[in-house]
């Protein structure tokens, strides 16, 4: 798995998502010089630009130029996808060498998506952006990040089908809300994973411990990219049963807020797992 330098371009966004880390936090918009300095300090050869909404910056193309001058080979944009409904803008990005995209989706229809983004028309623009991406003939890579919360988890299958129909290369199911009991959510996750696998679209999860993903553990995203990303900051903690689990050390436990709310009784330690050695090797 490619390790990216994560570069925050500021909290400014045209959506107001209910579960956004950056909307409610105290984050400043870094200026161009700050970004330029940060790009000089790295051991990575790939960079991911995120916000907020990075495409809203007036100096985005200058930043991309500096990224290239600093020798980064891959540039990924994490975006709500709305700006890509402007095809000219998208073509300019491609021309500048940005070919990797991660687009965030909260629902398979405007009622759910726009309710969570608190922004009318955001769904239609995001879908238009994905359609424009799909039509590009160049060698791009599109990841669809489906963000899960109490308002949308029953819509997972429709969102997966939307992504598959739009030709995405990978889907990530990312848990953003600590108020959904996992026993309610997991049946939907299993169906979603199976639909994606059957359609040969690689699918990963984020935020689910190994003990609730038995049989599907190869789809736990943290195996491949670790737990340290700043893009979706999360805190995990071990519970009483973790001390008896062979995955302790690879798994970082359960979301702190979830454990505080629901307790640990549903998380049973794993004593044996036939994929353990393989997963340990992948985790590194």
Site residues (vs ligand SF4, CB under 6 A) = 209-211, 238, 241-242, 245, 247-248, 251, 253-254, 267, 269-270
- Between 20 and 220, whose beta carbon lies closer to ligand SF4? 220
Residue reference for tokens 């353990």: 276
Q: How many CA atoms lie within 13 A of 149 on its CB side?
A: 17
Smallest distance, Å, CB 63 to ligand SF4?
A: 38
**C-beta closer to ligand SF4: residue 120 or 215:** 215
| Least distance from ligand SF4 to the Cβ atom of residue 274, Å | 15
DSSP state letter for 11: S
Q: Choose between 123 and 255: whose C-beta lies nearer to ligand SF4.
A: 255
Nearer to ligand SF4, 10 or 209 (CB): 209
Contact between residue 246 and residue 270 where contact means Cβ atoms under 8 Å apart = yes
Residue 241 and residue 269 in contact, taking contact as beta carbons nearer than 8 Å: yes
DSSP 270: P
CB atoms under 10 Å from CB of 268, counted, come to 13
Distances (CA, A) of 213 to 51, 170, 181, 252: 30, 19, 15, 14
Between 105 and 254, CB nearer to ligand SF4: 254
Minimum CB–partner distance for residue 155 and ligand SF4 (Å): 27
**Cβ at position 225, least distance to ligand SF4 in Å:** 17
Q: How many CA atoms lie within 13 A of 181 on its CB side?
A: 6
Q: How far is the CB of 262 from ligand SF4 (least distance, A)?
A: 13
Least distance to ligand SF4, CB of residue 173, Å? 17
Which CB sits closer to ligand SF4, 89 or 227? 227
Asked whether the CA dihedral 208, 278, 74, 170 is positive or negative, the reply is negative
């Amino acid at each position: 798995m490619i390790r990216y330098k994560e570069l925050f371009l500021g909290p400014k966004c045209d959506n107001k998502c209910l579960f956004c880390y950056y909307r409610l936090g105290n984050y400043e918009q870094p200026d161009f010089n700050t970004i330029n300095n940060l790009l000089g300090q790295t051991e990575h050869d790939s960079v991911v630009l995120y916000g907020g909404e990075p495409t809203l910056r007036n100096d985005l193309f200058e930043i991309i130029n500096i990224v290239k001058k600093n020798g980064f080979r891959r540039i990924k944009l994490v975006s709500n996808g709305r700006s890509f409904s402007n095809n000219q803008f998208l073509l300019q990005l491609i021309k500048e060498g940005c070919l990797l995209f991660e687009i965030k989706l909260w629902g398979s229809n405007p009622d759910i998506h726009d309710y969570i983004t608190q922004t009318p028309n955001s769904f239609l623009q995001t879908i238009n952006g994905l359609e424009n991406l799909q039509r590009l003939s160049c060698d791009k890579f599109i990841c669809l990040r489906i963000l899960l919360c109490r308002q949308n988890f029953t819509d997972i299958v429709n969102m997966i089908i939307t992504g598959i129909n739009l030709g995405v290369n990978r889907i990530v199911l990312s848990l953003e809300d600590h108020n959904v009991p996992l026993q309610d959510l997991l049946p939907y996750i299993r169906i979603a994973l199976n639909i994606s696998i059957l359609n040969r679209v690689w699918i990963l999860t984020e935020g689910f411990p190994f003990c609730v993903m038995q049989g599907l553990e190869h789809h736990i995203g943290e195996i491949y990219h670790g737990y340290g990303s700043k893009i979706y900051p999360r805190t995990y903690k071990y519970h009483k049963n973790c001390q008896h689990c062979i995955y302790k050390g690879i798994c970082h436990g359960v979301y702190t807020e979830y454990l505080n709310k629901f307790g640990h009784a549903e998380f049973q330690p794993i004593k044996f797992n036939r994929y353990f050695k393989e997963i340990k090797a992948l985790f590194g």
